[in-house]
Amino acid sequence: MENLLALDISDNCVCGVLLEFGQKVTLVRGYGFAVTQDSTIAEAVADVVRQTDFQKGECRLSISAGKCFFRNLSLPFRDMRKVAKVLPFELEDLTSFSMDELQLDSLATAGLGEETEIVSAMVEKGYLAETLAQVLSAGIDPDWITVGSVSTAAALPELSTTNRNCMLLDIGLKQATLVLIDEGRVVLIRTLGVDAETMGEFSLSSPEGNVICGKPENITDIVERILQPIRQTLLSVGRSHYLEDGAVCFVNGAVGLYPALFEQLRRKLPFEVNPCNISKRLLLKIEHLEGREWNRALLNTPLALALWKKKDAPIFNFRAGEFRKRRSFKELKKNALVIGCGAVAVCCAIAGYLGWDYSQLARQRDALNDEIVTVFRQTLPEVSRVVNPVQQLRVKVDESQKVYGASQSSGSPTKLALLAELSSRIPESLTVRITRLVSDQNDLRIMAETANFNTVDNVKRELEKSELFRSVVISSANLAPRGGGVRFELRVQFQ
């Protein structure tokens, strides 16, 4: 089974959820939380890892929106590569920090014509480096670092099946964050600057993680501090339809889900207000742990982050550039082993192919040798011992050339050349039966039989056309004693 650990570092608390992905159901195998008021982030992360019993697998991390800066921009082109190049220069004038001090990521929210609407998130590199160092010291190397409120908001379209225009109001101990979702995408993020810890003396009990309100009489003031900036924000960014059309508002956070405060929000906000409950996702099962209750106010955010998939609404990732995840020695060793095994398999396949190819060539060679021996035995049946048939045939051919073609050096044609010349010169239409050929170095005597004397004259004329013969003379031509044919003799002199 594949495991995934999601951690959320929020105000005074570290929360974590361990998921186990099955074929049919996703199981929450472990969860935990640790208050950071009297401990470091590294100690709290280590405590949560112990509570979830996480051993190995993918890990994701979210940080509080209060640690980030958010800006919306409209750029006059659609190419995201151009957006990435231009965006830092556009944002430099909108922040009090140098862009070299900030880690930046952005999301394309929408586009009209040639323009692209961008929502950007920035976090100080110093804070990010310090937080990442503490998490690494606890033995956790996250693959993803994002903003907790944004990953939670990205999960809302599945909870709001009737309205894809919704919002998340995430109220923590030290900060309240508003995130707008339009057509399933994050389009606006605003921190509202409400410090509930100071105003209402809210705190978390350890180790239970229960929310305690020291001044419940101030809850109304906290709600009023939240209502006014929400209305102003929606009107200032041209999102008044959220007020007019009755968008759905999901409330989350340790303070946001405090019963007394939530009830006031439900009564006073001009929306349908629902508590955020990510555990209602389909095909999700929570394995409740003995002695630890499921605290949705704290665990909604890490659960949403753990369930997030790339097909969902895009979220930020600060684990890039100088903060990108570097492969560990174990991963490099594992990859080297995989590559090595693959290389060995390829080498074995090549060796097998070469062996098969060699065997095929060897069979073809043996078949050709057998054919050569067969031809040799058919050509020279008198030879009983075959050692090197090609060489033996070559010797035999040389001997035949010496016997039948030795006169070539004295100027007379070879026997084979004479036979070829006679065959080509005497037409097929003439019936001639040669009975005897006698040849020496200077001339050739041909004794033959034919049907009549005209054929004898025709044969003489055809042979005179040959370049091999100087003269052709009819030595004799007589009627045959039997059969009515003509016997004749020709004397041919060579050139």
**pLDDT tens across 368-416, in order?**
888 888 888 888 888 888 888 888 888 887 777 666 554 444 556 778 8
**CA–CA gap between residue 37 and residue 345 (Å, rounded):** 55
The mean pLDDT value for 288-294 works out to 85
Report the side by side order of strands in the sheet with 486-494.
432-439, 443-450, 486-494, 469-479
Closest CA relative to residue 117, chosen from 186, 192, 190, 191: 186
Identical fold for domains 2-326 and 415-494, yes or no, is no
With residue 338 as reference, give the H or E element that holds it: helix 329-379
Q: Where are the domains of the chain?
A: 2-326, 336-406, 415-494
Taking only the tens place, the pLDDT of each residue in 42-84 is 999 999 999 999 998 999 999 999 999 999 998 888 888 888 8
pLDDT at 138: 94
Helices (H), 269-328: 296-307
**CA–CA gap between residue 291 and residue 159 (Å, rounded):** 29
Question: If you compute the radius of gyration of the chain from its CA atoms, what whole number of angstroms results?
Answer: 51
When pLDDT is cut at 50, 70 and 90, the band that residue 123 belongs to is: very high
Superfamily of domain 415-494: General secretion pathway protein M, EpsM (3.30.1360.100)
Residue 349, burial from CB neighbour count under 10 angstroms (0-12, 13-18, 19+): exposed
Report the side by side order of strands in the sheet with 58-63.
144-147, 58-63, 2-10, 13-21, 26-35, 284-286
pTM to 2 decimals?
A: 0.67
Closest CA relative to residue 119, chosen from 91, 149, 154: 91
pLDDT at 19: 95
The CATH number of the structural domain formed by 2-326 is 3.30.420.380
pLDDT at 163: 60
Look over the chain and give the mean of its residue pLDDT values, rounded to a whole number. Answer: 88
pLDDT at 113: 63
Most confident by average pLDDT, 176-190, 369-383, 470-484: 176-190
What Cα–Cα distance (Å) separates residue 367 from each residue in 374, 389, 466? 11, 14, 45
Q: Tokens for 161? A: 């099946």
466 pLDDT higher than 80? yes
pLDDT at 149: 95
Indicate the DSSP class of residue 263. H
Angle subtended at Cα 197 by Cα 195 and Cα 201, rounded to the nearest 5 degrees = 135
Taking only the tens place, the pLDDT of each residue in 337-370 is 888 888 899 999 999 999 999 999 999 999 988 8
Q: Which amino acid is at 299?
A: L
pLDDT at 408: 47
Contacts of 379 (CB under 8 A, 6+ apart): 393, 396
Q: Which residues on neighbouring strands pair with residue 325, listed in sequence order?
A: none
The mean pLDDT value for 29-52 works out to 92
When pLDDT is cut at 50, 70 and 90, the band that residue 307 belongs to is: very high
